[in-house]
C-alpha cells in the first residue's frame, strides 16, 4: 500500500518482487477508484468470459473506506435475522462464530446473515446489519438485512450464560473486531466514532455458551424475554 498525491495505491503480487497482477488507485473517501488488472478472465458455467478484478483483499479494503464515510463499518461476526430483527455474534478467531453459526443454521430458528463478516450501517437513523458475500468455514452468507437488535460477544463456557455489557466495555472489544484502516487516521477515527454510537444505542452482551443445541435454545429464550 502506498499513498501519493492524495490517493492510495494498492499493489497485489504473488511475490514481493514479482510483477503485480492487480493495482488499484482510490481516494480515501472512495469517491473515485480505478483498478488495473492483469488477472486472467474467468468463465462461468455457460462459458461466458467474466472480468473479476475486484477480488480479495481489494474488495474489503475498498469497502472499509467506503463505509467509513457513509455511517458504517465491516465487522468480523456471524449474524442471524429472527422476526425481522438482526442479532450479531462476534469475537476473535476461536471464540465460536463458526460453531454458533452451524448451531443456528441447524436449528432453523431464523435466516442467517453470515458466519464470518457482516456490515453495520445507519440508515434513516436506524442501525442495520447486512449479510456479505464473504463466507467462513460454515460457508454461510445471506443477501439480506434487518434492523440491528443485539450484539453478542462470544466466549466458550461450561454453561450458557448471557450478561449485559456497558457501552464502554463493548466499544473497547469492538476495536479488535471491526475492519479499520489504521494506516488512514481520518478513516480510522470515523469508524471508531461510529462504532461507539452503535454500542451506545444497541444492547450488547457477553454470551458464554456450550457447543451444542442448548446454546440456541438459551439464546432464543433470552431473545424472547428481552423483546
Q: What is the pLDDT of residue 20?
A: 87
Q: For 128-149, write each residue's pLDDT tens digit.
A: 999 998 888 888 888 999 999 9
Among candidates 133, 128, 216, 218, which has minimal Cα distance to 115? 133
Q: Measure the CA angle with vertex 86, ends 98 and 145; round to 5°.
A: 100
Among 51-55, 56-60, 156-160, whose mean pLDDT is lowest?
51-55
* 123 band by pLDDT with thresholds 50, 70 and 90: very high
pLDDT at 53 over 80: no
Q: For 153-173, write each residue's pLDDT tens digit.
A: 999 989 999 999 999 999 999
What are 93's three cell numbers?
478467531
pLDDT averaged over the chain?
A: 91
* 79 band by pLDDT with thresholds 50, 70 and 90: very high
Q: What is the pLDDT of residue 203?
A: 97
Higher pLDDT, 43 or 159: 159
Q: What is the pLDDT of residue 81?
A: 94
Q: What is the pLDDT of residue 194?
A: 97
Is the CB of residue 36 less than 8 Å from the CB of residue 29?
no
pLDDT at 72 over 80: yes
Q: What is the pLDDT of residue 51?
A: 61
Amino acid at each position: 500500500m502506498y499513498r501519493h498525491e492524495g490517493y492510495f495505491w494498492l499493489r497485489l503480487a504473488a511475490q514481493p518482487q514479482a510483477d503485480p497482477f492487480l493495482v488499484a488507485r482510490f481516494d480515501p473517501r472512495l469517491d473515485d477508484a480505478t483498478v488495473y488488472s492483469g488477472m486472467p478472465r474467468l468463465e462461468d458455467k455457460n462459458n461466458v468470459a467474466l472480468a473479476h478484478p475486484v477480488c480479495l483483499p481489494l474488495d474489503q479494503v475498498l469497502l472499509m473506506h467506503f463505509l467509513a464515510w457513509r455511517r458504517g463499518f465491516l465487522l468480523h461476526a456471524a449474524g442471524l435475522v429472527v422476526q425481522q430483527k438482526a442479532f450479531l455474534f462476534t469475537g476473535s478467531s476461536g471464540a465460536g462464530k463458526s460453531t454458533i453459526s452451524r448451531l443456528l443454521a441447524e436449528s432453523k430458528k431464523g435466516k442467517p446473515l453470515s458466519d464470518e463478516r457482516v456490515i453495520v450501517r445507519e440508515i434513516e437513523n436506524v442501525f442495520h446489519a447486512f449479510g456479505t458475500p464473504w463466507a467462513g468455514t460454515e460457508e454461510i452468507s445471506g443477501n439480506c438485512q434487518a434492523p440491528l437488535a443485539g450484539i453478542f460477544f462470544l466466549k466458550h463456557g461450561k454453561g450458557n450464560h448471557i450478561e449485559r455489557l456497558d457501552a464502554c466495555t463493548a466499544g473497547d472489544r469492538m476495536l479488535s473486531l471491526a475492519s479499520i484502516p489504521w494506516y488512514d487516521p481520518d478513516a480510522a477515527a470515523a469508524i471508531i466514532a461510529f462504532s461507539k454510537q452503535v454500542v451506545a444505542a444497541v444492547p450488547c452482551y457477553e454470551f458464554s455458551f456450550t457447543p451444542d443445541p442448548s446454546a440456541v435454545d438459551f439464546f432464543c429464550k433470552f431473545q424472547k424475554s428481552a423483546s
